[in-house]
Amino acid sequence: MLISRQSVITPLVVSLCILGIGFMQSPRLQKLLNSREYIPLDTLEKGLQQETLRLNLLKQTPSFGYDNLVANWAYLNFLQYFGDDEVRERTGYSLSPEYFEVILKRDPKFLAAYLSLSSSTSIYAAMPERSIAIIEEGLKSLSPHVPEKSYYIWRYKGIDELLFLGNSQAAQKSFETAANWASEYKDEESQLVVFTSQKTAEFLSSNPDSKYAQIATWSMILSNPVDEQTRKRAISAIEKLGGAVITNPDGTNSIKLPPKD
């Protein structure tokens, strides 16, 4: 059997590109990041500049059919970036959307990535506009069954629109679409999404400034696996709106709404 030169060279080029991009990171900086020593701020900022260049290169580099590999690799790098709490406290989370432009451009069906995008970019980096723009671009490649339970992506979009942009009209449409897409599934989880999304859209339709809708949306954030800081922020927001979060014996949360919307 004859094997073309291109079929051998192409995967090799892709592998070398990925390895080359990886080794562009400063070994000295990585050693410092992995240590407990104090790192000067200018050193951290230089590392961020290098990471920005690396991500910009990834946005432009052809993947030769290895899109999922690049997306997964970029996502693992994001998790390392986001999880470094000590460094993020000093430099912020401004690279969060840059990671997801790479990840979701390569693999718009990467469902789990959308939750991380919404949380890291809207809540931590305070860039809900970027988060929504990236989600909207990804949605162009999706349908109610591609990927499975893709209705969650419309929910993340609605959450960002309502809580961080105050755009209740856009949020209403996103929650209505989430309910429509979820209605194509018959399992209990999907039917719960239909119910809660419809109710939130109804609240917004009758009262764009609805406290009930905002509380319900913060409750959606609590229902996801989130870090402690996000959990505390959601509970605090619910309490400021007049609601209360009650932790049940099984660890789940119940929300008590205020007497009036």
Q: What is the pLDDT of residues 109-118, one digit of tens each?
A: 999 999 999 9
Residue bearing the bigger pLDDT, 247 or 187? 187
Q: Would you say residue 29 has pLDDT above 80?
A: no
CA-to-CA separations, 189 to 158, 179, 183, 193, 196, in angstroms, rounded: 18, 12, 11, 6, 11
Q: What pLDDT is recorded for position 211?
A: 93
CA–CA distance, 55 with 78 (Å, rounded to integer): 11
Strands (E), the chain: 244-247, 253-256
Packing angle, helices 67-83 and 41-60, rounded to 10: 160
pLDDT band at 225 (very low <50, low <70, confident <90, very high): confident
How much is the average pLDDT of 23-44? Answer: 58
CA–CA distance, 39 with 49 (Å, rounded to integer): 16
Residue bearing the bigger pLDDT, 75 or 22? 75
Taking a C-beta distance cutoff of 8 angstroms, is the pair 59, 105 a contact? yes
pLDDT tens digits for range 72-83: 999 999 999 999
Q: What pLDDT is recorded for position 37?
A: 57
Q: How many CB atoms lie within 10 A of CB 128?
A: 21
Q: What is the CA radius of gyration of the chain?
A: 21
Q: What pLDDT is recorded for position 5?
A: 40
Instruction: Give the H/E segment covering residue 60.
Output: helix 41-60
Residue 25 has phi, psi (to 5 degrees) of -65, 140
Q: What pLDDT is recorded for position 212?
A: 93
Instruction: Give the H/E segment covering residue 135.
Output: helix 128-139
Q: What pLDDT is recorded for position 13?
A: 45
pLDDT band at 209 (very low <50, low <70, confident <90, very high): very high
Q: Which residues pair with 146 in a beta bridge?
A: 143
